Structure 1
Amino acid sequence: MKRIALTICSATLLLLSCNNSADDKTKTETASSDTTSKMADVKTETAAPLMDSAAMMKAWMDYATPGAMHTWMAKTNGTWESEVSQWMDSKAPPTKVKATNVQTSSMGGRYVIGKFTSNMMGQPFEGMSTMGYDNAKKMFVSTWVDNMSTGITHMTGTYDEATKMMNFKGHQTDPTTGKDSEIREEMKIIDDNTYTMTMYGPGMDGKEMKFMEGTFKKKK
């Protein structure tokens, strides 16, 4: 009787083992099929249409060739001077300091490099900007570095000819958190020899506030 019971148990275990092997095989085949299907879907979604060499060359030439917006940028070249107002607290009166911004074209007119000098919190302050117009993205691009930080500010913007207003938006590093914080700039063209610049960023309460403003005059 014990031998029969053992035989039945052995047969049952063997049957269960076979069933489990079959189930595992089915699961493996199903998973493999699903993976293959997903890979095919990814390939279908990410596959970009092939571009012939002539079209590719034209795209690169269009991207690399300075245009009307680069000609406009060149108008901002020169030495500009201003008395700049600075705010550390939106509820307190601003401090006022002299500032100079020297702008020159670079890379065959593709970029304008600005060198800014002033004072901030009683210390000498200097910064450097790069402004360009990305032909492919159809927008202005800008970077900023200075001697009071170790990060790079990145902004993108558009110019409205009707209002003569350049609007830049981007991000800079918040040293208290190590994360990005929003920043924006408004540049208003008054005439060929005058423009205003206003900078906005987060205040002590985290809300946007104006922290710098100035009217720049071209030095003759």
Structure 2
Amino acid sequence: MKNFYITLSMLALCFVSCKKDVKADTETTKVSDSVKTEEPIAEQPLDSAAQMKAWTAYATPGNPHKMMADETGTWNCDMTFWSEANGKPEKASSTANIKMILGGRYQEANYQGKMMGQPFEGKSTLAYNNASKEYTTTFIDNMGTGMMVATGKYDNKTKSMEFKGEVVSPLNGKKAPFREIYTIVDATTRKMEMFDTKNGSEYKSMEIIMKKK
């Protein structure tokens, strides 16, 4: 801004001393202004006390972690699958053992059961990030070699979390979006709904009703 006012002053002096140079000076000024670039604003560093306070808040479990801890225990899971929209449902069952790990900062669930006549094992984790204010869920099992990762937020009105992520199809190697809705039905009941995309359309591919023992 200071350079801008200096330029205007110089133009005024040139106009008074020599009118014939006004046009040339103005054009020069325009060219000069057109190539100006703004200096990036440097981020102000936090002092050591502020940094420590921020990291402490980031690492301290809060109410979302308490809600996750409320699910600690053993759950019976009634599972229903669909391979396509309006397809024939397939049933399976499993047991989930849920616990908090790493000082109550993350939830871990271990699943065991049978699926399509084969032994089934799976593991999920759930995290609430104090910095981003969102949840992240992961899932792996013995039915594949990939990891499902999704992020979402909790809606207090519906008592549910909606997660969104991408999964790689083993049929074509391409990524496809998926969506998950996890609902707290009551103190001893949870419902998980999974929605996949096939031929460009979303359909409900799985539902799990969880009952706490």
TM-score (norm 1): 0.75
Q: Is the 8 A contact 2:122 2:139 kept in 1?
A: yes
Q: CA deviation at 1:81?
A: 0.6
Q: Deviations over 1:6-56 (max 9, x none)?
A: xxxxxxxxxxxxxxxxxxxxxxxxxxxxxxx99x86x716x4222211111
Could you list the per-position Cα deviations for residues 79-131 of structure 1 after superposition, in whole angstroms to 9, with x for gaps in the alignment? 11122111112232201111211110001110000112233333222111110
Give the structure 1 partner of residue 192 of structure 2: 197
Count of aligned residue pairs for this structure pair: 179
Shift of the alpha carbon at 1:175?
A: 2.3
Q: Map of 1:76-87 to 2, 5 A cutoff? A: 76-87=71-82
Letter in 1 for 2:207: E
Deviations 1:168-212 (A, max 9, x none): 111222223434321111111111111111111123x23211111
C-alpha contact (below 8 Å) 2:93/2:115 kept by paired residues = no
CA distance in 2, matches of 1:114, 1:179: 28
Matched, 1:140 2:135: yes
2:104 matched residue in structure 1: 109
State the partner residue of 1:94: 89
Corresponding residue to 2:207 among 200, 209, 213? 213
The alignment status of 1:44 with 2:51, answered yes or no, reads no
For the residue of structure 1 that corresponds to 2:153, the secondary structure is strand
SS of the residue 2:49 aligns to: helix
Going from structure 1 to structure 2, the CA distance change for 1:142 and 1:44 (only over 3 Å counts) comes to: same
In structure 1, what residue type is equivalent to 2:102? M
Q: Deviation above 6 Å: which 4+ runs of structure 1?
A: none
Any idea what SS the aligned residue of 1:56 has?
A: helix
Q: Give the whole-Å Cα distance in 2 for the aligned partners of 1:75 and 1:152.
A: 25
Instruction: Give the deviation of 1:214 after TM superposition.
Output: 2.2
Alpha carbons 2:65, 2:105 under 8 Å: kept:
yes
Q: Secondary structure at the match of 2:54?
A: helix
Q: For structure 2, which runs of at least 5 residues remain unmatched after alignment? A: 1-34
1:122 aligns with 2:122: no
The answer to whether structure 1 residue 72 and structure 2 residue 67 are counterparts is: yes
Is the partner of 2:112 in helix, strand or coil?
strand
Question: With structure 2 as the length reference, what TM-score do the two structures score?
Answer: 0.77
Match runs of 1:10-25 below 5 Å: none
C-alpha change, 1:150 and 1:74, in structure 2 (3 Å) is: same
Counterpart of 1:62 (choices 50, 57, 66) is 57
In the alignment, the residues of structure 1 paired with residue 180 and residue 208 of structure 2 have an alpha-carbon distance, to the nearest angstrom, of: 12
1:34 aligned residue? none
Structure-2 separation of matches of 1:82 and 1:124 = 15
Asked if structure 1 preserves the Cα contact closer than 8 Å seen for 2:140 and 2:148, the reply is: yes
List runs of 5+ in structure 1 lacking aligned partners.
1-36
Structure number with greater Rg is 1
Aligned sequence identity (%): 43
1:65 Cα shift? 0.5
RMSD: 2.0
